[in-house]
Amino acid sequence: MRIIAAAIILALTPTAVFAAPSQAAPPVSATEEGIAIGGYDAASYFSDGGPVVGSAAFEYRWNGAVWRFASAEARDLFVANADAFAPQFGGYCAWAVSQNYIAPGDPKVWRIVDGRLYLNFNDRAKELWEADLAGAIERGKANWPAVLEKADNR
């Protein structure tokens, strides 16, 4: 009888209780398919003044994700200096990182500050982040990349 009761308890227990320890969150916020910043061209924020959808014809694998670009020229710019074009905090929400947690960044909710691209989860997160912009950026820098290791972020 105890074996049957134990089997029933195991069957009804959420699998998360028995899951193996999680690894850190990936260094780049990406889709399930591994596409960074929703497939938008990271260079376009600087060259076109905003996000432009990239193409599978112009891809580059960097920092554990696939980055798409609108042209070979944009891809080549990124390849030459990825750190200059990639969003800060791996494309995770800048407000969330400043608060020591992660959330995906929305490539359509963005801002360039001091030549660096930042994404936020939504307009409200961006508004909160911008209310204390310098402080939020400094807190984000202090939290990054250790925030990826937090158990509640995985």
The span from the CA of 121 to the CA of 42, in Å, is 17
Greater confidence (77 vs 10) lies with: 77
Taking residue 90's Cβ as centre, other Cβ atoms within 10 Å add up to: 25
| Mean pLDDT, residues 76-95 | 98
Confidence of residue 22 (pLDDT cuts 50, 70, 90): low
Full-model pTM:
0.84
More confident residue, 153 or 51: 51
Q: Is residue 65 scored above 90 in pLDDT?
A: yes
Q: Are 65 and 104 in contact (CB under 8 A)?
A: no
